[in-house]
Amino acid sequence: MRLILALIFLATSSLQSQTSFDFLRLDISPRAASLGGSYVANGDDPNVIFYNPAGINSLEGRPVSFSFLKHLVDINSASLAYSHNFESIGRFGAAIQYINYGTFTEADETGTETGEFSANEFALTIGYSNILDDNFNYGANIKFIYSGIAEETSTAFAFDIGLLYNLPKDGWRFGISILNLGSQMSSYFDKQEDLPLDMRLGVYKKLEHTPFEFYFSFNKLNEKDDRFSSITAGGEINLSKTISLRLGYDNEKRKELKLGTSAGLAGFHAGIGINVSDYKVDYAFSSLGSIGAMHRIGITTDLY
């Protein structure tokens, strides 16, 4: 029964969006996911390259982060993000995002099994960010996107652009980004499909004299009919230099995953971060209500 619900969820999500490469909307980073994906105003994690390329200019050192997502049924995803600053040139970032949908039985028109096939997608991203003005950063990504089902493939090029404004003394950051601006180079069908364009506006606030950090984001602002309907929020409590607890909420996911009159815990996220020596280990739990849950784990360090 869970398998059927999972397949229905994946199918309806694709139909509602009417786009290709929807894996780009996934929150792979456990820290970002546990905050509901409200990461457009982040400035201390190399995974911000997936949400706002302007955020990488606020990073220090040469941070690298690996994340793994255990999705529904046999679907698994992983990502790798890295950032490096070049003096007098600016900060560059690089990332790869990959998803594998598992193995499927292949059959002909009579139903006779002829073998197996697999499906997978990935995106390669190169980003750049620099200072526009005092406390004001800009950034841009270029990405190559690939999708393959059995012997059929689809490819695309896309761009991300973003701005990030910092008020470090007051503990504020404001971010805006436009993700996945581009088009398919080759498609599965004769008709070209749209990429999952996403305009985001977010804010971060470190509450003074407390260990609490708040994240908030408006997503999909480019969708005229449903503008301001996709909202995510999250909070991070730093209990010590070693342990952080996180909670997040996604109102759109809660609506999509509601079955009958109940949504259970759908749309809610929780996570923990542990600093061990020079490594940050993160875990996130994301509820999908009656369908199940997703688990993410990641590790971040600085290569100095």
Does pLDDT of 8 surpass 70?
A: no
Does pLDDT of 11 surpass 60?
A: no
- With beta carbons less than 8 A apart as the criterion, state whether 53 and 42 touch: no
Amino acid residing at 295 = H
Does pLDDT of 1 surpass 80?
A: no
| pTM (two decimals) | 0.89
Domains and CATH numbers, the chain: 2-108+116-302 (2.40.160.60)
Lowest mean pLDDT among 74-88, 148-162, 254-268: 254-268
Model confidence pLDDT, tens digit, residues 239-248: 999 999 999 9
Q: What are phi and psi of 50, to 5 degrees?
A: -80, -15
Q: What is the pLDDT of residue 12?
A: 41
Q: What is the pLDDT of residue 20?
A: 77
Does pLDDT of 290 surpass 90?
A: no
Model confidence pLDDT, tens digit, residues 183-201: 999 988 777 888 999 999 9
- With beta carbons less than 8 A apart as the criterion, state whether 47 and 66 touch: no
Q: What angle do CA 20, 48, 14 make, to 5 degrees?
A: 20
Amino acid residing at 157 = F
How does strand 152-167 pair with strand 172-186? antiparallel
Model confidence pLDDT, tens digit, residues 12-65: 444 344 567 999 999 989 999 999 999 999 999 999 999 999 999 999 999 999
Does pLDDT of 209 surpass 50?
A: yes
Q: What is the pLDDT of residue 19?
A: 63
Residue 236, beta-bridge partner list: 213, 246
- The whole-chain average pLDDT of the chain stands at 89
Does pLDDT of 280 surpass 90?
A: yes
Confidence band, pLDDT 50/70/90 cuts, at residue 167: very high
- With beta carbons less than 8 A apart as the criterion, state whether 150 and 106 touch: yes
- With beta carbons less than 8 A apart as the criterion, state whether 101 and 75 touch: yes
DSSP states of the chain: -HHHHHHHHHHHHHHHHTBS-GGGG---SHHHHHTTT--TT--S-GGGGGT-GGGGGG--S-EEEEEEEE-STT-EEEEEEEEEEETTTEEEEEEEEEEEEEEEEEE-TT--EEEEEEEEEEEEEEEEEEEEETTEEEEEEEEEEEEEETTEEEEEEEEEEEEEEEETTTTEEEEEEEEEEEEEEE-SSSS--B---EEEEEEEEE-TTSSEEEEEEEE-TT-STTTT-EEEEEEEEE-SSSEEEEEEEEHHHHHHT-BTTB-TTTTEEEEEEEEETTEEEEEEEEE-GGG-EEEEEEEEEE--
Lowest mean pLDDT among 22-36, 159-173, 253-267: 253-267
Nearest to 203 by CA among 188, 218, 220, 183: 218
Confidence band, pLDDT 50/70/90 cuts, at residue 258: confident
Q: What is the pLDDT of residue 286?
A: 93
Does pLDDT of 227 surpass 60?
A: yes
Lowest mean pLDDT among 15-29, 154-168, 213-227: 15-29
Query: What's the average model confidence in pLDDT over 71-78?
Result: 88
* Rounded Cα distance, 226 and 199, in Å: 12
Amino acid residing at 225 = D
